Amino acid sequence: MEPAIRVRGLRKTYQSNVAVDGVDLDVARGEVFALLGPNGAGKTTTVEILEGYRKRDAGEVSVLGEDPAHRSVRDRVGIVLQGTGEFDELTVGEVVQHFSRFYPKADDPGAVIERVGLAEKARARTHTLSGGQKRRLDVALGIIGRPELLFLDEPTTGFDPEARREFWQLIRDLQTGGTTIVLTTHYLEEAETLADRVGVIAHGRLLAVDTPARLGDRESAEATVSWGTGEKITTATPTQVIRELAETYGEIPGLTVSRPTLEDVYLKMIGHDA
Ligand SMILES: Nc1ncnc2c1ncn2[C@@H]1O[C@H](COP(=O)(O)OP(=O)(O)OP(=O)(O)O)[C@@H](O)[C@H]1O
């Protein structure tokens, strides 16, 4: 089956600043894909080109089998940009209702408000919402059209931990329903929890694409065994080390075994060794 997104040789330059420098990428139908990278890496520019909001200088881009610049693809795509969520004197219910009219197969506004956890705020004017609640409204507007493909640019910035977990569940539900999801995030835990695959972008180049578990050879990386009051060994054979420690101690005090986290390999990849 044709992928949801296919990108070859994508380039975008602002004046002399190369924002996207030859990106190749496929995102499969039904996949959750997270784009990671430091500030200014080119994530938003890449996503905006895929959304049809920005022109590319070079490269091939296909979104749901079409050029994203074509209007016909817009009805099938949902977009949550970085922070809007304010619509003056309108209430949450009115805004979602209003946006539902733009889509041929729109979902029920009340049900969508409920799904993003804003049921109690349906009659509140949007300017009275908290930052996290505005972000939930953005998400509601992104999914009201029942998109086949949903783009989320830093969707959980400003969410409290509980709201973030609820949002993750919403994303899983959307994926179960068949929606393909592309998100950018600065939260490595979010990428690890949600994404089937992650892509790391820096200076406009895609440095790696892999599952969160395999990125940067995490799986086969050496483990750190620590115990007692700060003793530790980094080893390729942690089981053997533990066996030897057990012979010495019996029950080993304060034992932990850890491998590089997604954040460790990410920071190493973008050149900020922890
Ligand atoms: N409209 C614009 N005009 C000129 N330069 C721009 C414009 N938009 C982005 N850039 C530049 O392009 C580069 C990539 O920016 P982009 O917004 O794509 O990064 P990002 O990875 O989304 O960053 P962040 O994590 O901070 O959102 C940056 O150097 C930025 O300054």
Q: How far apart are CA 106 and CA 97, in angstroms?
A: 10
Q: Where are the domains of the chain?
A: 5-216, 222-258
CB 150, CB 173: distance < 8 Å: no
User: Does the C-beta of 45 come closer than 6 Å to ligand 1?
Assistant: yes
The whole-number pLDDT of residue 85 equals 61
Distance CA 32, CA 30 (A): 7
pLDDT tens digits along 54-73: 999 999 999 999 999 888 88
The best mutation among 11, 13, 15, 17 to test binding of ligand 1, ranked by most ligand atoms within 8 Å of the C-beta, falls on: 17
**ipTM, two decimals:** 0.96
Query: Ligand 1 atom closest to Cα of 154?
Result: 27
**To the nearest whole number, what is the mean pLDDT of the chain?**
92
In 44-159 the beta strands, taken as DSSP E runs, fall at 58-63, 77-80, 149-153
CA angle 154, 160, 163 (to 5 degrees): 80
pTM attached to this predicted model: 0.89
pLDDT at 83 > cutoff 80? no
| Residue at token pair 């949550």 | 80
Q: Is 177 exposed, middle or buried (0-12, 13-18, 19+ CB in 10 A)?
A: exposed
Tell which wins on pLDDT, 242 or 104: 242
Separate counts of helices (H) and strands (E) for the chain = 8, 12
> 5-216 domain in CATH 3.30.590.10?
no
pLDDT tens-digit readout, 123-169:
999 989 888 888 889 999 999 999 999 999 998 887 889 889 988 99
b/e 69-90 (16+ beta carbons within 10 angstroms → b): eeeebbbbbbbbbeeebebeee
